Amino acid sequence: MLIDVNAYIGHWPFRQLRITTAEGLVCEMDRQGIDRAVAANLHGVFYKNVQPANEELAEAARPFGDRLIPFATLNPAYPGWEEDLRRCEGLGLRGLRLYPQYHGYQLAGEAALALVDAAARLGWAVQAPMRLVDRRGRHPMDLGEDLSPANYEAAIGARPNVHWMILAAAGLDGRRLPPEANYAVEISRLTAVLRRDIQRLLEGVGPRRVVWGTGMPLNMAAPALLRLQALDVEAEVKERIAWRNAAEMLGLVDLLA
């Protein structure tokens, strides 16, 4: 079993993507042996009014309800997000993905935390990617900077009971995040062999706070699969990373048991 917590549909304005549709994403999941994926719509990163991106996602993901877990994109700095959140719930979206580095707000700011609180009342997990693309190859018009570990420390410290997922994470460990908080760290940027980043993360946060993702289609799935295969840990820990931790946070354990 594999659950990818970090996937997308849609176009990226700065380079061509091989996969842009829900159908294409599911086909690639089949090819890579991935059972389910949490997917958001990349269009929501760049639409001024992000709600049409959520409507696009809901329609595209509907035929793949047993494979895709659609997450809404909302901007707490944009007026009317409360109504958009209600509409997203009605559309069957099941979580929230935030992009403060593109939408112009602070992850631990008052507006963002109000949105996080509203999503948590729905029982949603809240995801925030540290980055979407590697800044070394970023287009000059792509102004989104990486979030820092301090951004997550402040936000998770302010709302420790929210189901947080830190996507494309690097530089985080158990010493920097509240020990009582409810969070998971996705490992697509970390190594299992050379620097052994994943092993150090496991030592710092424990095996129940690490989840697996790819970043498809902005990234290829193969490196993430190789990291998991090469990870020198017990089979039970590897199973937790591959799917069980994500399933518990997303409320899928009974469905997948």
pLDDT tens across the length of the chain (257 residues): 999 999 999 999 999 999 999 999 999 999 999 999 999 999 999 999 999 999 999 999 999 999 999 999 999 999 999 999 999 999 999 999 999 999 999 999 999 999 999 999 999 999 999 999 988 888 999 989 999 999 999 999 999 999 999 999 988 877 788 889 999 999 999 988 877 899 999 999 999 999 999 999 999 999 999 999 999 999 999 999 999 999 999 999 777 76
Which residue intervals of 105-145 are DSSP H helices?
A: 110-121
Comparing C-alpha atoms, which of 73, 21, 22, 77 is closest to residue 52?
A: 73
Q: For residue range 116-137, list pLDDT tens digits in order.
A: 999 999 999 999 999 999 888 8
Q: For residue range 59-108, list pLDDT tens digits in order.
A: 999 999 999 999 999 999 999 999 999 999 999 999 999 999 999 999 99
User: What is the pTM for the complete model shown?
Assistant: 0.96
Its sign, for the CA torsion 226, 229, 231, 232, is negative
226, 18 Cβ separation under 8 angstroms: no
**Tell me, what's the pLDDT at 257?**
63
Mean pLDDT, the chain, whole residue set: 95
What distance in Å separates the CA atoms of residue 29 and residue 200, rounded to the nearest whole number?
28
154, 131 Cβ separation under 8 angstroms: no
Sheet holding 3-9, edge to edge: 3-9, 36-41, 68-70
